Amino acid sequence: MNDTVVEFCKDSGIEFTRSRAYKKKDQAWVEQKNGAIVRRLVGYGRLSGHKALATLNELYAVSRLHINFFQPSFKLKSKRREGTKVIKKYHPPMTPCDRVLASPKIDDATKEKLRQHRDSLDPVQLLHDIRSIQQRIAELSSRNDVSANKPVPDVNDFLNDLSTA
């Protein structure tokens, strides 16, 4: 967390907490999404600068559409324990968009806008856009790699420096 996020939470009336009370494993859920979505898309390379930020924002915008409209996921329906065995039941896999469309709490006008937006998207084009942006991120990551820009020290200079160290 940084000061900007904390100030935003205060200004917006959002209660700022690190986790739920007595739920110390909450952070694991955040890290799970970080690994499942962010690290798969971006990788582990070090990125810095405004160009990298703009490229990441572009990637997130495109991947958000692909994930929310075309990537089905399982949601847990129930979980029960029989002795040491845990039995889990899941809802059928659905995209987040389909879950919203199936919800009775969402009004019909919003559902219609969502359907129109989904129908206007091309999943193949989204994947192509994601791949091209990932290529640009890989190039930015390799340029920012400190070890790639660092000159290889001369062995004689290293040995001479040892005597004065």
pTM of the model: 0.65
Between CA 126 and CA 122 the distance in angstroms is 6
Check: CB of residue 123 under 8 Å from CB of residue 66: yes
Q: What is the pLDDT of residues 61-83, one digit of tens each?
A: 999 999 999 999 889 999 999 99
Domain residue ranges of the chain, discontinuous segments joined by +: 72-131
pLDDT tens-place string over residues 88-135: 999 999 999 999 999 999 999 999 999 999 999 999 999 999 999 999
What SS3 state is found at 22? Answer: coil
Q: Helix axis angle, 50-70 relative to 123-144, nearest 10°?
A: 150
Distance CA 118, CA 24 (A): 38
Q: Distance between CA atoms of 42 and 130, rounded to whole angstroms?
A: 10
Q: Which helix (H) or strand (E) holds 142?
A: helix 123-144
